[in-house]
Amino acid sequence: MNIDEFMQQLSSSKGVSNISKIRKNTVKLDLTKEESLDFFVSIKSEFEHCSLISAIDNQPDFELVYHFSCMNQSIVVDDSNCAVMLEAHIYLKREAPSVDSIANIWFGADWHEREAFDLMGIYFIGHPDLRRVLLPEGFAGHPLRKDYVYEIHEEEW
């Protein structure tokens, strides 16, 4: 399947909007929070590798960016052997930053979700073991949020 055909196929999925090609091998789309889990289940057969989940504090709201990569060449870019990536954005409200977990679909997403919970305070519903991964238990706050205050003893550069 060519990447353009894949984009057309995506446009019929529920909850998907703003599909665009940001690089020659990367498809970017916005996703609603409610439809995210069904959408992720439907792309599992092409994208067998969950590369990255990054959480961004956009002040006031949060944004989750999922990156998936296709390793089995089921989607191709013209006739090169370039691997296709999918970039999905989900926007979350600051009052209730929660989204469905995909750790049961891709095991590799497990610790990415734990990290997003640890450093940004985003709750993943249905995650098997949601606890801090990098910071010690009992650490107060989520440090990657923009409103996290900590002591710095020298002036800013």
The residues of the shown chain that bind another protein, judged by CB under 8 A, are: 25-26, 48-52, 54, 56-57, 65, 67, 69, 71, 81-83, 85, 87, 106-112, 115, 119, 132-136, 143-144, 148, 150, 152-154, 156-157
CB of 76 to another protein, least distance (A): 11
Which lies closer to another protein via its Cβ, residue 100 or residue 115?
A: 115
Which lies closer to another protein via its Cβ, residue 1 or residue 107?
A: 107
CB of 26 to another protein, least distance (A): 7
C-alpha span between 21 and 108 (Å, rounded): 25
C-alpha span between 84 and 25 (Å, rounded): 5
C-alpha span between 115 and 100 (Å, rounded): 15
Which lies closer to another protein via its Cβ, residue 14 or residue 134?
A: 134
C-alpha span between 20 and 93 (Å, rounded): 24
Name 137's Cβ contacts closer than 8 Å, sequence gap at least 6. Answer: 131
Which lies closer to another protein via its Cβ, residue 34 or residue 147?
A: 147
C-alpha span between 135 and 143 (Å, rounded): 10
CB of 9 to another protein, least distance (A): 22
**Phi, psi (5° rounding) for residue 55?**
-105, 135
